[in-house]
Each structure stands twice: as structure tokens, then as C-alpha cells.
């Protein structure tokens, strides 16, 4: 058989949660940094692939964005890294089986979360913004299209911080239900191609739907802030051409990023993975 059955996955996730809790703080931070960086690289690829497309593409733009974003979780699972949203499923499994205590669960979540944040912001600032990639001018045929990727990044950041608290929370639940299932099914697969396919569908789905992922937002919103505060972007937005094109003024700040988005989305992610995957499957197969 080329895959594990759900009962075997449940047992494996519990053991994996125990192994993760035994990692030292320094290793959790380093692997967390890699996890955040890998998700951010998937986000950067998605912006570069979809950001210069015309608005007339509509839902197709969202699909293209979602189709390439899974690179991040593929790297996390196959190359090896720690991602807090996946651990929101594995650690409760181990806790319910009494393989770890609450202290071990919280240690893992806390330091992986910090590492994820540092890795995501690192890629946003150094590899997306300071490289100039996000501030490039594109052409549609022979027609210049000023700063399409910066404009797209600002639009994404503005939209995310404009959600109500409950909208962000509920979208966080939907997102991490699918992300945890992607990790769950990847563990089921016995070969790399199977793991990639298992990851791709749920991750593409949550992105194209419009759900909210806390670690991805650690990249998208800071990137929008960096781009939207750049003098080149500010001057363009205030120019006659920018006003005519309705170029968005940056609304995202570090404060509303954390308060309006990161906190409710993180809590929603915990519920999505911790209840709808970990608790339910543990009850069915392990209780």
C-alpha cells in the first residue's frame, strides 16, 4: 500500500509531536526561522507570479497565486523545518496521548512562532524588498505598468488589516483546518511525489478561497508595509497618474497588523488544527 491509513497517521502524529517537544529551544528557533522563511518564499513566488496580472483575470489571478504558494509547505515538510501552524495539530495529539505536558506544548509553539516570525520578516525585508524585486516596474507588452508588485503587496496588506476581528478569526480556522490536513496527508504518503500532491491541493485551496494563515501574514503584511512606505511608491501614489489609476495608500501599520490580524488569525489557526483535526481524529482513533 502506497499510503498510511488514518489510524496509523493519528499514531504517527502523536509520536511526531513528542519528538518535536524534545527539541532544544535553539533548534526550535533555527528550524522555526527556516519554516517562516520557506512560507515567505512561497508567498514571494505567489506575488511575483500573480501580481502583475490585469484585474480582468479575476478569480484566475487568485488561482495562479494559490497554485504556486504551496512551495512553502513543500519545503517545510520535505526539506525539514518547524511551522507553528502544523504543530498546532501535532502537539495536541501528543498532549492528548500524555506523551508531553502542557509546558512542552507551549514551549514548542512559543519558540517556533518566534522563529517563524523572524524568518518571514527576514525574507520580506531582505529578499523581497531590499533586492528591489517588489519595487520593479513591469511591462504589459510595450506598455509600462508602474510598480505592479508593490501595488499588489499593499492591496494584500490593506485587505488583511481591514478584516473584522471575527472575520480574521474564522478565516484562520478555515485555513489551518486545511493546512493541518495537508501535513496529515503528506505524512500518509510514502514517496515524495505523493507528499507534494497531498500538500498542494489543500494549500492551493485555502489560498484561493481567501482564508488567513498567521505565518504567511507575517510575510505579506510586513512586505506591504515596506513597499507602501517606500518613497518611490508614496510619490507614485500621490502623482496624477497614481490618482488616476486609484493606487492604494498604505493603511497597514505594525500595530493593526498585530491587533487586527495576527492575534485573531493565530487563535483561529489553533482552533482549525487543534480542534477540527487533532481533537476529532484523536477522539476517533486514539481515545
Residue 141 in this model has a pLDDT that exceeds 70: no
DSSP code, position 55: G
Residue 232 structural domain: 6-285
Q: Is residue 71 part of a domain?
A: yes
pLDDT category at 115 given cuts 50, 70, 90 is: very high
Q: How confident is the model at residue 248 (pLDDT cuts 50, 70, 90)?
A: very high
Establish if 100 belongs to a structural domain.
yes
Could you tell me the CA-to-CA distances from 108 to 111, 152, 244, 250, 263 in Å, in that order?
6, 34, 49, 34, 18
Mean pLDDT value across the chain: 95
Supply 65's cell numbers: 497565486
Decide: 161 and 264 in contact? Cβ < 8 Å: no
Helix (H) or strand (E) run with residue 143 in it: strand 143-145
- How many whole angstroms separate alpha carbon 27 and alpha carbon 80? 12
Backbone phi, psi, residue 137, to 5° = -100, 130
Is 157 a member of any domain?
yes
Q: Kindly state the percentage of the chain with pLDDT values over 70.
A: 97
Assess whether pLDDT exceeds 60 at residue 143: no
Residue 142 has a pLDDT of: 47
Interval 180-220: pLDDT, tens: 999 999 999 999 999 999 999 999 999 999 999 999 999 99
Residue 96 is assigned to a structural domain of this protein? yes
Number of domains composing the chain: 1
| pLDDT number for residue 206 | 97
Q: What mean pLDDT comes out for the span 2-31? A: 95
Q: pLDDT (tens digit, 9 = 90+) per residue, 154-190?
A: 999 999 999 999 999 999 999 999 999 999 999 999 9
Q: What is the CATH number of the domain that holds 135?
A: 1.20.1080.10
pLDDT reported for residue 263: 98
- Residue 1 placed within a domain: no
At 1 the pLDDT is 56
For residue 278, what are the CA distances in angstroms to 96, 101, 231? 9, 16, 46
Asked if the structure places residue 131 within a domain, the reply is: yes
Amino acid at each position: 500500500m502506497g499510503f498510511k491509513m488514518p489510524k496509523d497517521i493519528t499514531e504517527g502524529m502523536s509520536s511526531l509531536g513528542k519528538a518535536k517537544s524534545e527539541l532544544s529551544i535553539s533548534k526550535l528557533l533555527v528550524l522555526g526561522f527556516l519554516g517562516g522563511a520557506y512560507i515567505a518564499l512561497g508567498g514571494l513566488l505567489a506575488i511575483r507570479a500573480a501580481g502583475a496580472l490585469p484585474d480582468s483575470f479575476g478569480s484566475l489571478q487568485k488561482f495562479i497565486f494559490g497554485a504556486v504558494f504551496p512551495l512553502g509547505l513543500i519545503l517545510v515538510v520535505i526539506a525539514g523545518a518547524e511551522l507553528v501552524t502544523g504543530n498546532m495539530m501535532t502537539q495536541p495529539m501528543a498532549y492528548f496521548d500524555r506523551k508531553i505536558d502542557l509546558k512542552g506544548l507551549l514551549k514548542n509553539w512559543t519558540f517556533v512562532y518566534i522563529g517563524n516570525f523572524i524568518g518571514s520578516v527576514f525574507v520580506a525585508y531582505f529578499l523581497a524588498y531590499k533586492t528591489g524585486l517588489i519595487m520593479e516596474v513591469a511591462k504589459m507588452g510595450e506598455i509600462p505598468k508602474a510598480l505592479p508588485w508593490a501595488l499588489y503587496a499593499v492591496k494584500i496588506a490593506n485587505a488583511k488589516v481591514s478584516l473584522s476581528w471575527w472575520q480574521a478569526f474564522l478565516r484562520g480556522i478555515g485555513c489551518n483546518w486545511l493546512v493541518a490536513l495537508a501535513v496529515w496527508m503528506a505524512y500518509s504518503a510514502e514517496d515524495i511525489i505523493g507528499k507534494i500532491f497531498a500538500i498542494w491541493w489543500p494549500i492551493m485551496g485555502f489560498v484561493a478561497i481567501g482564508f488567513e494563515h498567521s505565518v504567511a501574514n507575517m510575510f505579506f503584511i510586513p512586505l506591504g508595509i515596506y513597499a507602501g512606505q517606500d518613497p518611490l511608491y508614496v510619490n507614485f501614489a500621490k502623482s496624477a497618474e497614481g490618482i488616476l489609476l486609484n493606487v492604494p495608500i498604505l493603511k497597514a501599520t505594525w500595530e493593526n497588523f498585530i491587533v487586527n490580524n495576527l492575534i485573531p488569525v493565530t487563535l483561529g489557526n489553533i482552533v482549525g488544527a487543534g480542534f477540527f483535526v487533532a481533537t476529532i481524529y484523536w477522539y476517533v482513533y486514539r481515545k
